Structure 1
Amino acid sequence: MKQLLGLFLACGILFLTLETVDAQGVINNYEVSLDVPPELRWTKVVEDYKEIVQFAHSVIRSYVPEDLIPLVEEIGADIDNYIKQPYAAEMRGIARALNCSLGDVVLVNLIYDISAFCTSIVSQDDHGQIWHSRNLDYDFGGMLRNITVHVDFVSEGQTVYSAITYAGYIGILSGQRPKAFSITVDERDQGSIFENILVAILDKKAVPMSFLVRDTLANEPDFESAINHLSKTDTVASVYFIIAGVNPGEGAVITKERLATIDIWRLDPANGRWFEVETNYDHWTTPPPDDDRRDPANKAMTRLGQSNINKPSLFAVMSVRPVLNNHTTYTVIMSPAQPQLMQAWIRNCC
């Protein structure tokens, strides 16, 4: 998979202040109404980025072996039998708005779901407030920076949950339920990307990770119920779920295989574990030397100190290279106890 996706270029490790970091590009904000028919929810978002999304679809499709395309077209032709509502209807509406193949919309959503390389950090400051930081990295970073959006999912005039996502992508890899919890997804470096796609298509019990996150944000009321739901649901691929809550100690990393949870690694501030860093490798193992983002992030957090946690300082941590690298599309910082703090930046590194 690393060869296919072209993993990150090695960069020097450098601790930066907020003022010295180049965070470029404006992330547009949208509301997606949960009160309108699913087919209409994403029309405004994708039409604003129509040409870029169409180009992204064509590029991503070119990465997929030709013998897999008929399976993707099959799921597109019988989408209601493979993908649950409202996601099937939302994809149908996106395909209509883009005037493109429904199979392409399905394919892009599956590829995004299982091909991300990321860094997520959950931390607790010295006042007991929980913070959640994340960089989302893709091999298609240049394109995806141009279609990164902030979406508030609203019902009856209230924000139910929010996400930083990509136009044309209906799942959630970075999201927040106000006053409850936030979730990020890090890909777990296990198995072939194409094997995972086949599982996604053929195993109807397995849920795409981004759909599971969106379901959790929509339906679960608090941190513990979110952990329970995420850890007990079958997924299309191995994955890390990083979760932040609103009460002291509410931070965890779930390490999950497709059909079972291996480990739930919780914050333990009383014993000195006031932050946890997750990249794309099990936290109890040593990351490979050619992709070690964990150690620079750990060193930056330790240097920062628990008493200095805030949005600018966490942004600086996420700007340490190679935590920030050529494939980073955006940085987001959240604190679900104070949902108004949620902010994302499009990143251009090196």
Structure 2
Amino acid sequence: EVPLLYVDLDLEPKLRWKNVTKYYKEIGAFPGAVAADGPIAPGVQAMMKTMKVDDEYMQEMRAVVADIDDPSVTLESVMLMNLRYELSGWADTPAGLADTFASMDLAGFFAEPQGCSGLLAAMPNGTVVHGRNMDYAGFEVVTPDGRVYHWPQVTTEVIFLRHGRPLFVSTHWPGLVGVHTAMRFDGWSFEQNT
């Protein structure tokens, strides 16, 4: 059974993810799941500085860093976790990016191909079905007490609330404040494929 957590979008960005961060700290996924393995290569730092990231999104990531409260977790390491899916799509090309990433210890990010498959179909009665599998591999975190977690052990569902009502539900992992897979209640579904 996948744990169900809540994010209240009516709260200030610095408060929204506290219960999610608390859950991951309690199971021992933090700091390891988002800790920097070493210095981030200057080329990647430069790339990250050129990215236009919404201020509210940055506030949420800064709050996650503050809530984890561990020197091995930085804003840059949390940003990289949130960019994991996008970066995995560049693992082989272009050559310049591959060289830049090679200067970092990203073996855990690209140890095996990453990606997901989705299906969108309409049934004869007009009902639309959207399915998605999670083809992730390569993630491993060792907890402080020696347990080893992979993606299935750290997967959660997060229901986002607006005005006290459920707005949408998303599949989540430690440190993630964005959305890769989601379904809006009484609305649409979303799937990112890089």
Both structures adopt the same fold (TM-score exceeding 0.5): yes
Identity %: 24
- Partner Cα distance (1:170, 1:132) in 2: 22
Q: Deviations over 1:202-241 (max 9, x none)?
A: xxxxxxxxxxxxxxxxxxxxxxxxxxxxxxxxxxxxxxxx
Paired residue for 1:175, among 182, 190, 193?
A: 182
Task: Check whether the contact 1:105–1:168 (CA below 8 A) recurs between aligned residues.
Answer: yes
Q: Deviations over 1:137-173 (max 9, x none)?
A: 2233453222211111101211112111113101111
Please show how residues 43-82 of structure 1 align to structure 2 within 5 Å: 43-50=18-25, 51-58=28-35, 61-62=36-37, 66-71=41-46, 75=49, 82=52
Paired residue for 2:128, among 127, 130, 139?
A: 130
- Partner Cα distance (2:80, 2:160) in 1: 23
Which residue is equivalent to 1:165? Answer: 172
- Partner Cα distance (2:31, 2:44) in 1: 17
Task: Check whether the contact 2:34–2:175 (CA below 8 A) recurs between aligned residues.
Answer: no
Which residue is equivalent to 1:38? Answer: 13
Shift of 1:67: 4.0
Q: Deviations over 1:43-94 (max 9, x none)?
A: 1111211231321224xx559973445437x74xx9xx84213201100100
Structure 1 vs Structure 2 CA RMSD: 2.5
**Which amino acid is 2:84 matched to?**
I
Paired residue for 1:83, among 38, 45, 53?
A: 53
- Partner Cα distance (2:21, 2:52) in 1: 23
Q: Deviations over 1:19-48 (max 9, x none)?
A: xxxxxxx21111100111101111111121
Equivalent pairs, count:
155
Tell which structure's C-alpha radius of gyration is larger.
1
Shift of 1:186: 1.5
Question: TM-score, length-normalised on structure 1?
Answer: 0.41
Task: Check whether the contact 1:52–1:146 (CA below 8 A) recurs between aligned residues.
Answer: no
Task: Check whether the contact 2:157–2:172 (CA below 8 A) recurs between aligned residues.
Answer: yes
- Partner Cα distance (1:104, 1:156) in 2: 32
User: Is 1:153 the counterpart of 2:126 in the alignment?
Assistant: no
Which residue is equivalent to 1:119? Answer: 117
- Partner Cα distance (1:71, 1:104) in 2: 14
- Partner Cα distance (2:189, 2:180) in 1: 10
Which residue is equivalent to 1:92? Answer: 62
Question: TM-score, length-normalised on structure 2?
Answer: 0.70
- Partner Cα distance (1:140, 1:156) in 2: 38
- Partner Cα distance (1:56, 1:111) in 2: 12
Task: Check whether the contact 2:65–2:78 (CA below 8 A) recurs between aligned residues.
Answer: yes
Structure 1: state its 5+ residue gaps. 1-25, 188-350
- Partner Cα distance (1:132, 1:182) in 2: 7
Shift of 1:125: 1.5
**Which amino acid is 2:115 matched to?**
F
Structure 2: state its 5+ residue gaps. 89-113, 141-149
SS in 2 for 1:57: coil
